[in-house]
A and B are shown apart, each in its own frame.
Chain A
């Protein structure tokens, strides 16, 4: 009987860890300021728009999307800059995937951009993990639009090899803590 209680606790604990099914439609309230537009229509039917909802948007690990964005400015040459970043825990630098995620032009003239983009991300990336992507755009040194959305890659935790590796690491580290707690010396 004494062994059943910890076993029950473990099962309940694992049940709490199981991922909940993500909603098909992003329903969180928007988290964006300014009069810009920014949308991306993914090939899985998801439409990402920070002015409609901040997420949670499901993104396939590989796919394509058509995107468009605009800024509410007069079409004259002007300095612009901006960035898109993946937020990380405090103390760890945020992640900008490549040069397309940051821009800094001294004499930009356009007011918008649209096009197609495709991606095929490494399978090692975790699935079902909520990732906050934050972006901002500045005109003449002043931020005119900023916002964030939360995405998660389609799939379950075990679609990424990181999960079993992490579980094994947890077990090994737990064994290390147990060994550290073993009494040495004792009665002589």
Chain B
């Protein structure tokens, strides 16, 4: 009997829902930073634009998932246990003794 092992590549996805919430907070905090550092006036409507941009960025990164791919893609072969230096295949007999 021949057993064939094939490596299947599943689509890599991040976490778009988390990205939406984190992006919303990121945009809101960046807008707040810009106000607190005097870059934007308090009544600026740009705060909404920045908050929405944060949501879009978070969802986009969550769908695209560009981080953490490198390590997995660089070595797609399955891990093989190291062979001890003193391994002697001839020492194994047919009855396992």
Contacts and interface: CB of A to CB of B under 8 A. Distances in A.
Interface of A: 16-20, 86-91, 126, 128-132, 150, 152, 157, 160, 162-163, 166-167, 169-170, 172-174, 176-188
Interface residues of B, number: 49
A18 B37 CA distance: 6
B41 A132 contact: yes
B18 A87 contact: no
B10 A180 contact: no
A163 B73 CA distance: 41
Contact of A176 (B11, B22, B32, B38): B22
Contacts of A20: 38
Contact of A186 (B10, B25, B42, B54): B10
Contacts of B23: 173, 177, 180
B72 A186 contact: yes
Q: Which of A152, A160, A166 has the most CB of B within 10 A?
A: A166
Interface in B19-66: 19, 21-23, 25-26, 28-30, 32-39, 41-45, 47-48, 54, 57-58, 61-62, 64-66
Nearest to A130: B41
B37 A19 contact: yes
Given A20-B38, A128-B38, 19 more contacts: A89-B42, A89-B43, A90-B48, A126-B36, A131-B42, A132-B42, A163-B37, A166-B32, A166-B33, A169-B32, A170-B30, A176-B25, A177-B23, A181-B66, A185-B10, A186-B69, A186-B72, A188-B9, A188-B10
A181 B64 contact: yes
18 contacts: A20-B38, A88-B43, A129-B35, A129-B38, A169-B25, A174-B26, A177-B54, A179-B15, A179-B22, A180-B58, A181-B67, A182-B68, A183-B65, A183-B72, A184-B12, A187-B8, A187-B9, A187-B76
> What 10 pairs between A and B have smallest CB-CB spacing?
A176-B22, A180-B19, A181-B61, A173-B26, A87-B43, A173-B25, A183-B12, A170-B29, A183-B65, A130-B41
Nearest to A14: B37
B7 interface: yes
Contact of B42 (A87, A163, A180, A185): A87
B18 A179 contact: yes
Nearest to A86: B42
B95 to A, nearest CB: 37
A16 to B, nearest CB: 8
Contacts of B54: 173, 177
A172 B24 CA distance: 12
Nearest to B76: A187
A86, A184, A185, A186: residue with the most chain B Cβ atoms closer than 10 Å: A186
